[in-house]
Amino acid sequence: MELIITAHKEAAVKRIREHKVVLAVQDTTVLNHSAYLPDDADPVNMTKDTARGFLLHDTVAFAEDGLPLGVLDAQFWARNPAAARQSAARRERDIEEKESSKWLKSYRAAAEVQALCPDTMIVSVGDRESDIYELFHEAR
């Protein structure tokens, strides 16, 4: 997957350089495979819902007019069913051990592109789930 994303990112950087402002939008997509269950699919949420599959957190670059410029980052995983009971101890775990680290990884990918495109302002965009201290601290 890393080789594919690297090629996409390189192509996106070429397109990004043609713009003054670019939005690096990141979000998570649930890939529900309950109807056709691969062997390595796990629960996609930790509620009583029985849906099984995978999660994909990607970062896509867009021009100000909404034109997609390319994929900057993609993270793909299956949740560990044993982790369902870890929420009580979540405050004690380091951010890198949590699923929330996806926001930091995507932000870092946008920051890498910013370094490659100094004449373009890259704006990292996330929804309210990305409202985590570590992300704001790193961006500062």
Answer for the pair 84, 45: CB distance below 8 angstroms, yes or no: no
Which neighbouring-strand residues pair with 71?
Answer: 60
Query: In the chain, how many domains are there?
Result: 1
Which mean pLDDT values do the consecutive 10-residue runs of the chain (140 residues) have?
89 98 93 69 62 85 98 85 61 72 92 97 91 85
Which neighbouring-strand residues pair with 53?
Answer: 32, 42
Q: Domain with 127 in it: what CATH number?
A: 3.90.350.10
DSSP 8-state assignment for residue 9: H
- Which pLDDT value is given to residue 96? 72
The domain of 7 spans 2-139
- Which pLDDT value is given to residue 127? 87
pTM value surpassing 0.75: yes
- Which pLDDT value is given to residue 45? 65
